[in-house]
Structure formats: C-alpha cells, structure tokens
Amino acid sequence: MSMTTPIVDFVQNYAKSGTSRLHMPGHKGQALLGFEGLDITEIRGADELYEADGIIAQSEANATRLFGTAHTYYSTEGSSQCIRAMLCLAMQAAPAGQRPVLLAARNAHKALLYAAALLDLDIQWLWPAPDAAGALCSCPVTEAQLAAALDRLAGQGRTPFGVYLTSPDYLGGMQDIAALAKVCDAHGVPLLVDNAHGAYLNFLVGGSRHPIALGAAMCCDSGHKTLPVLTGGAYLHLGPKAPVQEETAVRNALALFGSTSPSYLILQSLDRCNRYLSEGYPLRLYSCCGQLARMRRVLNEQAAAAGCPLPLAVDAPAREPLKLTLDAAALGMTGTALAEALRQDRIECEYADPRYVVLMFTPENPAQDYERLEAAVARLCAALPSAPALPEPEADVFTELAAEAAPVCTVRQAVFAPQEVVPAETALGRVCAMPTVSCPPAIPIVVSGERIGPAALKLFARYGIKNVAVLK
C-alpha cells in the first residue's frame, strides 16, 4: 500500500470544495502566483503544527517510520528552528544550578550562535587538530579529543548539557558519528548533530549513515537541502537517547522559535516527500551516488591528463556521497574563478571560496547536468596554457585563530549589546558582536563575544569580509 499523504489530501480537497475563505491568508486562494489555492492556515481539520493530533501528526508518524527514529517532528522554518529547539530541550534536561555549557566543534553554522544568544548558553569549542589540514569548515573531531575535552570540563565541575557536531559539513566532510556517540554515551552527555546537509543519509543502500541510526540523541535535517522539499522544510529527529521524549515539551520548544502561522505549502511538501521516499528512493539515490562516484573519477582523469598537480574532485570514502567538491587549485584557479567559468556554461554552484567549489546533486538532476559539467571541465582542461603549479601551502591561520579566540563576554551579552559596523581591517582588538563574519557560508571566523585578533583579520581578508559588527 502506498504511503498516505494526509496533509496534501486535506488541502487539495479543501481547494476543490469551493468553500468561502473567510479566514487568513488574505489572498483567499486567488492566484497571483498560481499556488495560492493550496496555501491555507490552521482551519478546522487542518490540525495545528505545535499541537498536532490530526493530519500533521499522521504525516509526522509516516516520517518517523521512514527515518526509523523515536519521533520525527516537522519544521517549516528550517534547521535553524530545529537547532534552537534541540538545544532548548537538551538544556531543559540538564541538572539545574550551573550556567549551561555546550561542547561544540568550531565549524558550526551561525544558527548555533543565534541559539546561544537566545538561550544564553556558553560554548566550549573543539578546534581542528593542527595536522587536520583544511579550513574551519571541516573540523574533524577524534574520539580521544572529545573524551579529553569532556574530562577537562568534568574536572572544572562543568558537565556540558550536550556535545554538538556539524556533520556533514559544507565541503562534504563527515564526522565519525558512531564512534563519537560512544564517547558521549560513556560520559552520559547527549550527542546533538547538525545534519542539515544529510537528510538523505538514512536512505543509502549500503546502510544508513544518518546520525540517529549511528547513535546521536537528536539531530536536525534540512529536508529542503537534499530532498525534494520546499525551502524551509526541515525535521527535528529524536532518537531513543534524546534526554526529553515528552511530545508536548518538544512541540513547545519548536513553537518557542517558530511563527504561529506555519506554511501549509511547506507542510504539504514534507508530507508528499514521505511518499517520494517510500517509492523507490533508495535505488534512485544509489544510482545518483554511483553517477557521482563515476563523475569524480572522470574529472580527476581529465585533470591528470591535462597535467594538473592535484585531484580536481575531492574524493574519499568517508565523505558525503552527494556533494561534488572541486579543488580549483588543481586547475591553477581560485574557487570563485572556477565558479564563474562554470556559470558561463550555465552551471550554478552551491558555494565557492578562494579554494573550493561545491556542487550539490540529487536524483532530481537530469543527465544534462552531468554532461554539462563534464564538458565544461574538459574545456577548462584543454584551455590550460601549461600544467598549473602546486599551490603554495596556506599558512595554518586556524591554529593561530584557536590560540587567540577567547571570550570576553557571553554570546548573549555581545549579540544584544550596543554595536556598530566597522571596516574589517580596522577591527583589530574590538569585540565581535554578530557572528556574520563567515568563512565557508555562515561558519563564524570570530564568535560573538570574542576579541578580534590578527589571525581573524587575515581570515577576513582571505574570505573577502568587508565589515564587522563590533561592540561599541
């Protein structure tokens, strides 16, 4: 029997019913853009997202079965909302009496910082090891490093209310969630994962690589990033180890950070996605991962034949299979120049920085997208004047950054304090107010409340950051 779509069915029946819409929204179902007929509010029978016991609860139950979680909740406001709710719940479960502290890998999206400001929590950072080459974007955490950090905090009498990891990261790197979950279990601390980029990981044919399947207590997934879900559609997943299981508590935590008018277009999209996932998706995903593995091989062969000194497509078994990350240095280019060259061939990337270009594929991409990319890279390789030189090794600014990053006030104090925006190159010694100074999208170089040091200034220049909000 095919999977039910109770939200889609309800809204479609309502749209066909010809009922006079004497309720919000103001468009009354009349088409300006074309989809207004399906955009409703919480009328009778439509259930309520934050007190669900009808069609939304039924649809979430379908998602819960599909993801194999203890309970999956919908969000219409992205992983950002789920991250806030997840931290709020973990904080509620922690023993009272001490300032809440979270142990988090430093490659966190700024949504974590916004949550820290709203929830007034402290963060102890896990930094990439000096030999873990690469930018802040990838912050591989080892079991030993995590255990040592947890022991150190325990020694200070500060048990963190959670360990927070971002995996997959923006460049496609993944943490060893299964191993790190065991360390968290041994220390009695819940593992919370920002899995915004990995909703599809539960459906891999070789076995789930989803954080809940690997032992995390809770995680968020942006359905909209890798599944055919409208922008804003996301999941908050609770595993059996989530420290709060009570449904009302979870819905209240989500409601605290959400609008009272959740989008029914997004809810229908999440609902319809359940059927999509249940109808042959794993095989389509398998085929897509296979095509991408082949594409990485082909691009690297093309680049090697053109004399490129490095592999063009970043490749390793532990990486996230749907991201195609190109190392533009292989072609003697910057990531932004490579992205511009691809744009000329009508290929729009997800992200580009001085070194990398990230391309995101799903089973929805037509064959033409693969063909275009292969042809574009072949043209770039053919046009190389001579074999590019190996890029100069980048100075390890991140170790310097880790050494200089010390908070002078809490994230909340910094975010809510009087502030001003100054040119980045004049910000030395000032205290960062807003975490909008990002290297790979939205990963703060300096966190609110930290004093801006020389390493941060170098990274502002590297990532083209022009202005910084600092405390007055």
Ligand X SMILES: Cc1ncc(COP(=O)(O)O)c(C=O)c1O
Binding site for ligand X (CB under 6 A): 78-80, 109, 111, 166, 170, 194, 196-197, 222, 234, 442
> In terms of CB distance, is 109 or 355 closer to ligand X?
109
Q: Which residues contact 25 (CB under 8 A, 6 or more apart)?
A: 36, 39, 40, 41
CB burial of residue 255 (10 Å; 0-12, 13-18, 19+): middle
**How far is residue 242 from each of residues 72, 111, 221, 234, measured CA to CA in Å?**
12, 20, 16, 18
Q: Are strands 101-105 and 162-166 parallel, antiparallel or unpaired?
A: parallel
Kindly state the smallest distance separating residue 339's Cβ from ligand X, in Å: 17
* Backbone angle region of 357, left / alpha / beta, with phi > 0 → left and psi within -120 to 50 → alpha: beta
> In terms of CB distance, is 93 or 442 closer to ligand X?
442
Kindly state the smallest distance separating residue 360's Cβ from ligand X, in Å: 11
DSSP 144-180: HHHHHHHHHHHHTT---SEEEEE-S-TTS----HHHH
> In terms of CB distance, is 197 or 355 closer to ligand X?
197
> In terms of CB distance, is 166 or 202 closer to ligand X?
166
**Structure tokens belonging to residue 366:** 């037509």
Kindly state the smallest distance separating residue 227's Cβ from ligand X, in Å: 12
Dihedral over alpha carbons 320, 403, 334, 322 (to 10 degrees):
10
> In terms of CB distance, is 69 or 300 closer to ligand X?
69
> How far is the C-alpha of 220 from the C-alpha of 195, rounded, in Å?
5
Kindly state the smallest distance separating residue 167's Cβ from ligand X, in Å: 9
> In terms of CB distance, is 14 or 356 closer to ligand X?
356
Tell me, what DSSP letter sits at residue 421? E
With CB atoms as reference, the residue minimizing the distance to ligand X is: 78
> In terms of CB distance, is 221 or 450 closer to ligand X?
221
Kindly state the smallest distance separating residue 443's Cβ from ligand X, in Å: 8
* Residue keyed to tokens 């030999």: 131
* Residue keyed to tokens 């000096």: 130
Kindly state the smallest distance separating residue 88's Cβ from ligand X, in Å: 16
> How far is the C-alpha of 323 from the C-alpha of 319, rounded, in Å?
8
Kindly state the smallest distance separating residue 1's Cβ from ligand X, in Å: 32
* Residue keyed to tokens 């409703």: 40
